[in-house]
Amino acid sequence: MTLLSLTISDVEIGQELPPLDIVLTRTLITATAIASRDYQEVHHDPSIAVERGSQDIIMNILTTNGFVGRYITDWAGPNTFIKSVKVRLGVPNYPGETMKMRGKITATSGNDVTVVVTGSNSMGDHVTATVEIVLP
């Protein structure tokens, strides 16, 4: 984790961010859905999730988006401004999986940096995000 924020001189196009692995427990998926006020049963009730076609409860999009933001700010530091996040969901995140967060810098302009982030599990990419940040 970075204690101080990065500056534009610390980054270059093609640079890969340090990996972050997040173990997905039933408690994490349920608690983060409730914390984001998403009370849909598919996020906390396994029998209803299965009845609706899922193999188990699934992580909600707000949690996914939160993990993308955390991944960026853990790397770039607390003074980083997240300008935009464009998220595309793929396969679900189920309990018992590990989401492997990875990132790569794809563009820089002034103090603006664009990072493509992926979060994958054993089934493939759960999330692909394009994150635009402004470094101090």
Scanning the chain, the segments in alpha helix (DSSP H) are 26-35, 46-51, 61-76
φ and ψ of 117, to 5 deg: -115, 135
Check residue 5 and give its pLDDT.
80
| C-alpha pair distances (Å), 26 with each of 23, 30, 56, 104 | 10, 6, 9, 29
Q: Look up the CATH number of domain 8-134.
A: 3.10.129.10
Query: What's the predicted TM-score (pTM) here?
Result: 0.92
Check residue 121 and give its pLDDT.
98
The tens place of each residue's pLDDT in the chain, 136 residues long, gives 445 788 899 999 999 999 999 999 999 999 999 999 999 999 999 999 999 999 999 999 999 999 999 999 999 998 999 999 999 999 999 999 999 999 999 999 999 999 999 999 999 999 999 999 999 8
What are the structural domain ranges in the chain? Answer: 8-134
Helix (H) or strand (E) holding 112: strand 112-121
